[in-house]
Amino acid sequence: MGTIIQQIINGLSLGSIYALIAVGYSLVYSILLFSNFAHGGFLVIGGYICYYLLRTLELNIWFASLGALIGAGLAAVLVEYLAYKPIRERTPVTLYMLIASMGMSIVIENIFVVTIGGRFRALPPIIPAQTLDIFGLATTSAFDLLSLATAVVFLVGLQVFLSKTKWGLAVRAASYNLKTAGLMGVNVNKLISIVFFVAGLLAAIGGIFLSVRYTLYPQLGAITTKAFVAAVIGGLGSLPGAVVGSLILGLAEMLAAGFISSQFRDLIVFALLIITLIFRPTGLFGKSVGEKV
């Protein structure tokens, strides 16, 4: 019983990190109807900014994390401005932006490889790692509980932003039809920049926690593939779907690792993706949509 509870907590912790990343995928998809595969690069940018602010400037974790969040958000806005904006202003075909995002992912990864090297780096012990006893039923790490709590805080904050603010209302309107939102007076370019900033910010949070859980290296962004799978399972463009899909994926991974073998983790993940695409291609919460023009 204790093992089950422990693996469930671990799965919710991992799933919550996936959720932060998957929500960024879904936000961009809901507006522009393309999957931004450069999203993993923002995760890496956030991780490296946090690392160097902690190591070089010796800032505390709060200021280092704030710098990482802002830096990754601005990097996402810059990528959109340089790579995606010229394309979307010339053609409504989102396939070209998808291809550009793959290119930007490779560019970001190789910038880090060329400039600072590809070796693994460990963040300082900034997050408590001691084990905690849960009512005598199971033990878990403080890191897992902290990552879960942090994800909940930011996801709730995102929901408040989308439901209670003027720009949040604009994002929800644009998710139905971006062109119509523009005709109604919404500054489309500013709106898209805000969406990319939020997506980059959320990716940076995931980057910090993943850098602590594993290590930091230029290819760490590849783990966002699983977050993308979670977004597909939940339904691309659906924020609740991204969260639910991420939690399902995190639980499936940890339960498989705990009761079968850690070698089955990726097998379970992509098996769930294939099953979803066969039986419910739009995902759990997704809707069938056509090409936005």
DSSP result, 82-142? IIIHHHHTT-S-THHHHHHHHHHHHHHHHHHHHHH-S--B---S-S---EEEETTTEEEEH
Q: Are strands 138-141 and 131-134 parallel, antiparallel or unpaired?
A: antiparallel
CATH numbers and ranges of domains, the chain:
2-279 (1.10.3470)
* pLDDT > 90? residue 142: no
Residue 247, pLDDT above cutoff 60: yes
Q: What percent of the chain has pLDDT over 70?
A: 95
> Of 48-62, 120-134, 264-278, where does mean pLDDT reach its minimum?
120-134
Burial of 183 (0-12, 13-18, 19+ CB in 10 A): exposed
Please tell me the predicted confidence (pLDDT) of residue 80: 96
Give the pLDDT band of residue 167 (cuts 50, 70, 90): very high
How far is Cα 174 from Cα 109, in angstroms, rounded to an integer?
A: 31
Under the banding of pLDDT at 50, 70 and 90, the label for residue 177 is: confident
pLDDT of residue 288: 57
If we measure between CA atoms, which residue out of 126, 152, 142 comes closest to residue 10?
Answer: 142
Confidence band of 292 (pLDDT split at 50, 70, 90): very low
Q: Which range has the top average pLDDT, 106-110, 130-134, 137-141, 181-185?
A: 106-110
Task: Report angle CA 43, 48, 52 to the nearest 5 degrees.
Answer: 155
**Contact predicate 143/129, CB 8 Å:** yes
Kindly tell me if the per-residue pLDDT of 75 is higher than 60.
Answer: yes
Residue 59 has a pLDDT of 87
Lowest mean pLDDT among 95-99, 134-138, 238-242: 134-138
Count of CB atoms within 10 A of residue 177's CB?
13
- Mean pLDDT rounded to a whole number for the chain: 89
Binning pLDDT at 50, 70 and 90, where does residue 202 land? very high
Output the pTM of the full model.
Answer: 0.90
Of the pLDDT bands very low, low, confident and very high (cuts 50, 70, 90), residue 104 is very high
pLDDT at 287: 62
**Among 220, 262, 202, residue whose Cα is nearest residue 123:** 220
Residue 3: its pLDDT value, please?
A: 76
Distance CA 218, CA 19 (A): 21
* Helices (runs of H) and strands (runs of E) counted in the chain: 12, 2
Of 7 and 65, the one with more pLDDT: 65
Mean pLDDT of 46-72: 92
pLDDT category of residue 291 using cuts at 50, 70 and 90: very low
